[in-house]
Amino acid sequence: MKDKKYVFRLELNRTTFGNGEELYRYDVYEPYLKNYPDGYNSFMDDNYDGPHISSADNGNVHDYPYFFGEGDEEEMEEEHGIINTENIDEFGAFESYEDMEAFIEKDASERFS
């Protein structure tokens, strides 16, 4: 696995608002920490049993929302407040944005259809 370059990490979060409506969001992360110069490659060994892969996150670079309700996230937060945001799925790392987007499209069509 070390011959591949894993440059994006993907997770799915759910935000529940005060009116009971929910927003599901695929969050995309890029790696960079000086302690992990190989980024997510540091975590992708077949026998890996160390720190969580998100330890190499440099931050959220993009998200894909799937909203169930009316309005958008900012409007819902202002009007109803956020009760809870939680990670509900962790998908690991991807070599390319295209691979990751294809995965999101497939997962979302199965999960939200």
In this prediction, residues 2-22 reach a mean pLDDT of 87
Q: What is the pTM of this model?
A: 0.82
Helix-, strand-, coil-residue percentages of the chain, each rounded to 5: 30, 40, 30
- Tens digit of pLDDT for each residue in 36-87? 888 899 888 777 777 889 989 998 999 888 766 556 778 888 888 889 999 9
The per-residue b/e assignment along 78-93, b for 16 or more CB within 10 angstroms, e otherwise, is eebeeeeeeeeeeeeb
Please tell me whether residue 64 adopts helix, strand or coil conformation. Answer: strand
Mean predicted confidence (pLDDT) in 11-32: 91
- Give CA–CA dist 11/29, Å, rounded: 9
Mean per-residue pLDDT of the chain:
86
